[in-house]
Structure 1
Amino acid sequence: MKSPRTCPPQDWVPLLVPDMPSPQALLPWLERMHAARHYSNFGPLVKELESAFAEGFQLPIGQVTTVTNATLGLELVLQALDLPPGSRVLVPAFTFVATATAVLRAGHVPVLADVDAHSWMLTPDIARAACAVARVDAVLPVATFGMPHHMPAWQQFEHDTGLPVVIDAAAAYGSQWLAGAEGTLVFSLHTTKSLPAGEGGLIVSTRPGLAARVRELSNFGINLDPAADVPLGALAGVGTNAKMSEYHAAIGLISLQNWEHNSQCRRALRADLMQDIAQASPGPLVWQQQGHGGELMAPTLLCARLPSEAARAALEKACHRGRIMTRRWYQPLLTNMGVLRHCCTPLDTPNAQALAATLLGLPFFLGITHEQRQRVCTTLAHALAKFA
């Protein structure tokens, strides 16, 4: 007797798929690098990439610098601000762990604040309220999921309070601009971000001397300025090795050439997926709302807020059965991480707690197929039917 046929299992629908340049596209840049025999230490491709960034932000070249990744970029910016040791830095409780660990590794104390219920971000109004109940020495807002901040409002906050503000804009390249205001931005060029270089970070700052100081600290703190009081080659400060390599700059330059096209595709895909999911869902889902900082220009994630914690759990189980990857962004909250409890100061965070209980990341990547999209929508409709 023949055994009954069984259907082969479906492939998993990925949560994310990096959108990196092909080896063929990269080859001419690698040949340039190899011909110059310059592979790191502020090489010609790094300089070219930084010049392109400066032009894009309409700033002098001295107000931008690259680093090996955004996490080290945050640490070095905090160090460059020369805050007293143990300063208290306000950060949102709802964010990736690197925001808090950068504060700790810079020798300071994260003060964990709430976020806006609609934009899911730490806003100037929330920061003002936090300053009224806790000592704050600096503020580190996050461009959550790439949603840009309104920089004139943060400039006004700095003016009113005297507190330095640094925007963790890791996921917001192409969305977060200075918009004519003064400010400091730290971007990630990680492989999953809108401008991927494999690894890398970008600091943009109108604060006098800050980008130059970060650049120096990224090269161990060695002075390379002949006009400085410290001799050339001597330590001007205690830094680290956080220089971007020529390899990563090459990838960044290719990605920059393709950024406008890819960002348009990402915006269109996000709008289509949200529409498909809204039509399939038997109940309302809540999406992140645009704040006063402008439109999300190059989305890299798709996160939906479910009606309840039970609804999220049901959808997670259904997606697992259907071989669809999901993720709880950001779980657990910083306030609920045991490693951080003894070294952070938590404030009341009702909005962040509610987000943490109901938010779920769904598959989002360029090249997602019609079958994969249909599978996500069908699974969502079945899983949430009883919660309608």
Structure 2
Amino acid sequence: MSDFIPVNEPLLDGNEKKYLQECIDTGWISSEGPFVRQFEERFAGRVGRQQGVAVANGSGALDIAVHALRLGPGDEVILPAFTIISCAASVVRAGATPVLVDADPVTWNMSAEQVAARITERTKAIMVVHLYGLPVDVDPILELARKHDLRIIEDAAQMHGQACRGRSCGSFGDISTFSFYPNKHITTGEGGMVVCDDPDLAERCRGLRNLCFQAHKRFVHEELGWNYRMTNLQAALGLAQLERLDWFVARKRAMGRRYTELLGETAGIQTPLPRTGYAENIYWVYGVVLEDSVPFDAEEAMKRLAALGIGTRPFFWPMHQQPVFEKLGLFPAERYPVAERLARRGFYLPSGMALTEPDIEKVAKGVKEVLG
């Protein structure tokens, strides 16, 4: 339908066309083009890192991060039950064991208390995943890592421009990852980034990104890697988007505030927490959770909103209830009630950069109508 409001629509009205045209004019469209290095350096600098490694997507960034830290069989990695499957999949593919913690019902993130309870002698790393707009309170988790000599993988896929206690998300721990999917604050269509401070670790990431070619014996391989390279075309988009990140962040926060003005007093839904003592919500998406008093679940609410011309997307399904992991015998009889409830009663509203004020008003009106 022509007046349908999609869940996401990016804005590409900066220097994107100019930089893409430069790629075409010069013939540099592959991963060897100059925009890749420019994007790596400027993005890493923006998040307070020394090294940036651009990759094909955020899931690939996680694969590389786990392998770069040499996590494998016998190693346990603590991560949230409530997250995208890429996080657990990267651990499983490496042969390591994912160990889950439940979500906080208000911030929807993991906490240090939950992590501390899951540390064993086999724990080798913690995967910190910031979700939906508010970051994890990282400092106490970093203290746990120091105490137990653990590595930190920070998944900041949704946190472009966000900070925790004044430090950029993506600057914490041993290695951090980002995604540039079209629904992110910065998009390259598909794409991702690994950032860190250790030049040797970054070089290992570059090798894993590029099939582990060797400098002097290109087609002789000592280790298996991936073709996870980012193209010059993608990097050109990313660089143009990065130039406008501050404006994008301000726009997203304005959208979030407006949604809350219109929906904050609506009976039957939990709206996002605007801020905590360590961060202000960046509203990557505007998520809502149906209260128990609502006689239907998120799936039904989304169907009713679609009938009103409003696109939505469900919250993540818990890792311990993923059929693929059940078939592998992972997480038997484990329960994470907050993650289970968020998956069944949570969804997010249209939240793209191109969303207009009339769109927001229509969405809010639709939500109120659906809730009666």
The answer as to whether partners of 1:146 and 1:170 remain within 8 angstroms in 2 is no
Q: 2:229 & 2:289 partners in 1: Cα distance?
A: 38
* Counterpart position of 1:115: 103
Counterpart mapping for 1:1-388 below 5 A: 11-21=3-13, 25-60=15-50, 63-131=51-119, 135-176=122-163, 177=168, 182-207=173-198, 209-224=200-215, 231-233=216-218, 234-279=220-265, 281-283=266-268, 285-288=270-273, 290-291=275-276, 293-297=278-282, 299-308=283-292, 310-313=295-298, 315-330=301-316, 332-343=317-328, 344-345=330-331, 347-385=334-372
| Residues 78-87 or 267-276, more deviating | 78-87
Q: 1:362 to 1:105 in 2, by over 3 A?
A: same
Q: 1:37 & 1:322 partners in 2: Cα distance?
A: 46
What is the CA distance between 1:73 and its match in structure 2?
A: 0.9
Q: 2:281 & 2:68 partners in 1: Cα distance?
A: 29
Q: 1:379 & 1:190 partners in 2: Cα distance?
A: 27
The answer as to whether partners of 2:160 and 2:169 remain within 8 angstroms in 1 is no
Q: 2:83 & 2:327 partners in 1: Cα distance?
A: 18
Q: 1:217 to 1:250 in 2, by over 3 A?
A: same
Unpaired runs of 5+ residues, structure 2, are: none
Q: 1:101 & 1:180 partners in 2: Cα distance?
A: 23
Unpaired runs of 5+ residues, structure 1, are: 1-8, 225-230
What is the CA distance between 1:290 and its match in structure 2?
A: 4.1
What is the CA distance between 1:188 and its match in structure 2?
A: 0.4
Higher helix fraction: Structure 1 or Structure 2?
A: 1
What is the CA distance between 1:307 and its match in structure 2?
A: 0.9
Deviations 1:80-137 (A, max 9, x none): 11123253322211111221222222232322321122211122221111226x9533
- Residue 141 of structure 2 aligns to a residue whose secondary structure is helix
Q: 1:135 to 1:364 in 2, by over 3 A?
A: same
Higher strand fraction: Structure 1 or Structure 2?
A: 2
The answer as to whether partners of 1:49 and 1:249 remain within 8 angstroms in 2 is yes
Deviations 1:330-371 (A, max 9, x none): 1x3222221111333364412212222321212222343444
Q: 1:140 & 1:118 partners in 2: Cα distance?
A: 20
What is the CA distance between 1:192 and its match in structure 2?
A: 1.2
TM-score (normalizing by structure 1) = 0.84
What is the CA distance between 1:172 and its match in structure 2?
A: 1.0
Q: Percent identity?
A: 25
